[in-house]
Amino acid sequence: MAIGTGDKAPEFDLEEDHGQPRVRLADYLGRSNVLLVFHPFAYTAVCTEEALDLQENLASFRNANTEIVFVSCDASAARQAWKRELGAEYTFASDFWSHGAAAKQYGVFNEDNGAPIRGTFLIDKDGIVIWSLVKDTSTQRTEMVPESLDTLRTKA
Q: How far apart are CA 156 and CA 153, in angstroms?
A: 5
Q: What are phi and psi of 13, to 5 degrees?
A: -140, 100
More confident residue, 104 or 1: 104
Indicate which residues carry an active-site annotation.
47
Q: In this predicted model, what pLDDT tens digit does every residue of 34-80 receive, in sequence order? A: 999 999 999 999 999 999 999 999 999 999 999 999 999 999 999 99
What would the mean pLDDT of 83-87 be, rounded to a whole number? 98
Q: How far apart are CA 129 and CA 151, in angstroms?
A: 11
Q: In this predicted model, what pLDDT tens digit does every residue of 113-145 receive, in sequence order? A: 999 999 999 999 999 999 999 987 655 666 777
pLDDT for res 137: 66
Q: How far apart are CA 95 and CA 38, in angstroms?
A: 9
Reported as a pLDDT band with limits 50, 70 and 90, residue 3 is: very high
pLDDT for res 62: 96
* Cβ 2 vs Cβ 132: under 8 Å: yes
Q: How many helices (H) and strands (E) does the chain have?
A: 5, 9
| pLDDT of 9 over the 60 cut | yes
| pLDDT of 1 over the 80 cut | yes
